[in-house]
Amino acid sequence: MLDNKRVLAVIAARGGSKGLPGKNLAEAGGKPVIAWSIESAKQSRYIDRLILSSDDSDIIGVAESWGCEAPFVRPKELAGDTARIEDALIHALDALDEEYDYLVLLQATSPLRAAEDIDSCLELCRTTGAPACVSVTRPEKSPYWMYRIGEDGRMQRLLEDGAEHSRRQDLPAIYAVNGAVYVAEVPWFRDYRGFVGAETRAHVMPAERSVDIDERRDLLLLRALLGET
């Protein structure tokens, strides 16, 4: 609970994955990837209830064995490749009998986020009065050094106003949403159907905690960061 406001956390983990099948249940650090998110949520000072939104019976079974509640099965139409996570979250809110003031989305594929990252996002909403907060990180490569390739094969700068910058330390600070923590006031989220708006605040996370498991190389990186060979 945050200032007498109830906080619901939803771990989102659908079964279908073309990039890395079974990624939510892959082993890393001696436990399934999804278990890392369950543990960080349980260590949060503010989360009142933690639930899973999944369409996959295996994921549901493993999540429950690690102490995560699974009060429903996500409908198939909300779990396909084209389905929006926001619609799945609205379904989760509507499926529960209790009302909540804050919604926290934790994607199972961001295993290295810490409880402190979750709590910092909630605290930023409290201290700033913002309706939402998301976690971000500095990307490895700046978009000021990125290019499009034209139909004739010629390189075209993605951001022309960065043409004068030649050194990394001279480039403007750029951040990317890392997918680890999303927080929003429930009424605002229901109305906006998203997390990133003009009033959204950012919680900056280091690159080493911002691993997002999408492909096999991401899983290998996670295992390397955990000291596995």
For 117, 118, 122, 125, the CA distances from 133, given in Å and listed in that order, are 11, 10, 7, 6
Please report which confidence band the pLDDT of residue 58 belongs to, taking 50, 70 and 90 as the band edges.
very high
CA dihedral 65, 66, 70, 75 (to 10 degrees): -90
Average confidence (pLDDT) over 105-134: 97
Sheet of 132-137: strand order equals 49-53, 7-12, 102-107, 176-185, 132-137, 201-204
The answer to whether the beta carbons of residues 104 and 45 sit under 8 Å apart is: no
- pLDDT tens digit string along 141-182? 888 888 999 999 999 888 876 556 667 777 888 999 999 999
Question: What pLDDT is attached to residue 17?
Answer: 72
- Global pTM? 0.92
- pLDDT tens digit string along 18-46? 778 899 999 999 999 999 999 999 999 99
Question: What pLDDT is attached to residue 52?
Answer: 98
Question: What pLDDT is attached to residue 5?
Answer: 97
Domain extents for the chain?
Answer: 7-137+176-225, 139-174
What is the CATH number assigned to the segment(s) 7-137+176-225?
3.90.550.10
How high does pLDDT run on average in the chain? 93
The answer to whether the beta carbons of residues 213 and 222 sit under 8 Å apart is: yes
Residues 6+ apart with CB under 8 A from 117: 40, 135, 180, 181, 203, 205, 209
More confident residue, 164 or 227: 227
The answer to whether the beta carbons of residues 133 and 185 sit under 8 Å apart is: no
The answer to whether the beta carbons of residues 157 and 122 sit under 8 Å apart is: no
Question: What pLDDT is attached to residue 229?
Answer: 64
pLDDT over 80 (residue 88)? yes
- Kindly state the percentage of the chain with pLDDT values over 70: 97
